[in-house]
Amino acid sequence: MVWLHPVILFALAAVAAPILIHILVQRRAEVVPFPTLRFLRSTAIVSIRRHLLEDRLLLALRIAIVAAAVTAVAGPLLVTRARRDVWNRRIVRATVISGAPTASGGASRDGERVVQTREFRGPSLGDGIRRALEWLDAAPPARRELVVSAPLTIGSLSAADIADVPPSVGLRFERVGTLPAERTVSYGRVRAVDGSIEREVTLAGAQTSVRDRSAGDPKAGADRGFPLDVLAAPPARPFVDAAIAAVLGERVWSPPEAHRARLVLASTEHATAEVSAGNGDMQPWIADAIVRLTRDADLQHASARAAGALEEPRFSQAPWVTVARSRDNRLLIAAAASADRLVVVSGAPPSDVALPILVRGIVNAIAGVADIVPLEIVPIPDAQLTAWSRPAAPPPTPRIDRVESDDRRLLWIAVLGLLLVETWVRRAARRDAAPAHVEESARVA
């Protein structure tokens, strides 16, 4: 048996009320004026005890009434095998639709009894799935099924969306409609000399077009808001500024606020002492950034032609990671993670062309731009959909507030019945208490 509001069962303590009332009321006998007491003998103690015995039935009835009422309010439900069988035979279906309406999404299949069905449309399949799951959670006890009816292109549905669906909810996919002719997606933000720019990519078949739109950040081009902090000796500063200006002129991806980096030009003696690295715990985005740097072909090519080297042996050891080597195969650029930023040390001369390439590489690396390939209009493979599909499982223990018929009505009927019996018993007791003419009538008359 399950309960809708088990907390209410604490109210069963209310059965003490009729007991207390019974005891208190019984101790006050009715006062009856009588002509003379000379023929009467007091029977006070016996009388009270006797009444407690006489009215035990009435007391039991009242306790039962209170207990049944409290139990009914608490909402009991007997989960019997027959009831479970009924629940298992029916199905509640939510259909998430994207694109044109479908004729098959809410249709019943062989042998199943669909008790409720509803369609959900939204800006995305993920949003529709979320709302469908909320509705399924509030549905009456039945097998629950989620049908996704859409063209099902890559990007319209992710593994994370599927992971949110509880295991007991069945999943079915229906590929309907045609693939969209084009798709326009936001593709991040880039930095330029004249400010920050929102980039939008439209994919239409084999043609891909990019549209930039100013995001209105006039100071974005200044070194002050630049995500890369360069430590260099004063003589090297003009080279650094020129490198940053060159990079902004070429435009680079704008990293998130929390992604910061520091470049130390180790060829300058003053900067060497400030190089430090973290304790070895590396944040995922820093690791990704280091990997991107090591795979930056332009950087590797420029480094291979540069002179200079990082002479200190510690840059060859952990936690430092070698990013690039010089033309004589000596360590030229190394990277490591500090507590909150990526630290890159370069042994290349500031005047070398490797510097602006390194600056661009670092900024792009910490920006972490997503691959555009998944955004192309390609259907999710059937094998993937089959892997995600599963039948609806029998419903778990249902929430009683979602049950259409429970056992409360039986208890309320019991309460009414007990009230009738209590009334009858009370009236019968009152009739017994009323003056009755007895056998003395004949004798006296």
Return the residue matching tokens 């715990």: 281
Q: For residue 261, give both structure tokens.
A: 């980096």
Binding mask 356-395 for other proteins (x = CB under 8 A): ----------------------------------------
| Least distance from other proteins to the Cβ atom of residue 426, Å | 12
Asked whether position 432 contacts other proteins by CB under 8 A, the answer is yes
Min dist. Cβ of residue 24 to other proteins (A): 14
Phi, psi angle pair for 407, to nearest 5°: -100, 15
SS3 196: strand
CB of 55 to other proteins, least distance (A): 10
Closest approach, Cβ 62 to other proteins, in A, equals: 17
User: What are the Cα distances from residue 7, in Å, to 2, 11, 71, 74, 410?
Assistant: 12, 8, 11, 7, 20
Q: Which residues of 178-241 form beta strands (DSSP E)? A: 182-192, 195-204, 207-214, 228-231
**Residue 436 in contact with other proteins, rule: CB under 8 A:** yes
Judged by CB under 8 A, the residue of 181, 273, 318, 433 near other proteins is: 433
Strands 170-175 and 182-192: unpaired
Looking at the Cβ atoms of 16 and 21, the one nearer to other proteins is 21
- Closest distance to other proteins from the beta carbon of 16 (Å): 23
Nearer to other proteins, 18 or 350 (CB): 18
Q: Report the residue number, 39 or 371, with the smaller CB distance to other proteins.
A: 39
- The beta strands (E) that lie in 307-423 are given as 321-325, 331-337, 341-346
Residues 115 and 140 sit within 8 Å (Cβ to Cβ): yes
- Helix axis angle, 56-74 to 16-26, nearest 10°: 150
**Of 54 and 112, CB closest to other proteins:** 54
- The three-class DSSP label of residue 95 is strand
Containing 171, the helix (H) or strand (E) segment is strand 170-175
Return the bridge partners of 261, or none: 228, 342
Residue (30 or 269) nearer to other proteins, CB: 30
**Bridge partners, 342 (sequence order):** 261, 337
Which residues, numbered 7-66, are part of the site for other proteins (CB under 8 A)?
26, 29-44, 46-48, 50-51
Q: Is the peptide bond before 319 cis (omega within 30 degrees of 0)?
A: yes
Q: Closest CB to other proteins among 32 and 159? A: 32
Scan residues 64-123 and list those touching other proteins (CB under 8 A).
none
| Shortest separation between residue 28's beta carbon and other proteins, angstroms | 9
The alpha-carbon radius of gyration of the chain (Å, integer) is 41
Which residue, 28 or 224, is less far from other proteins as judged by CB? 28
What's the closest the beta carbon of residue 30 comes to other proteins, in angstroms? 5
Specify the residue for token string 């019945």.
417
For other proteins, give the closer residue by CB, 373 or 433.
433
Does residue number 442 form part of the binding site for other proteins (CB under 8 A)? no
What residues line the site for other proteins (CB under 8 A)?
26, 29-44, 46-48, 50-51, 429, 432-438, 440-441, 444-445
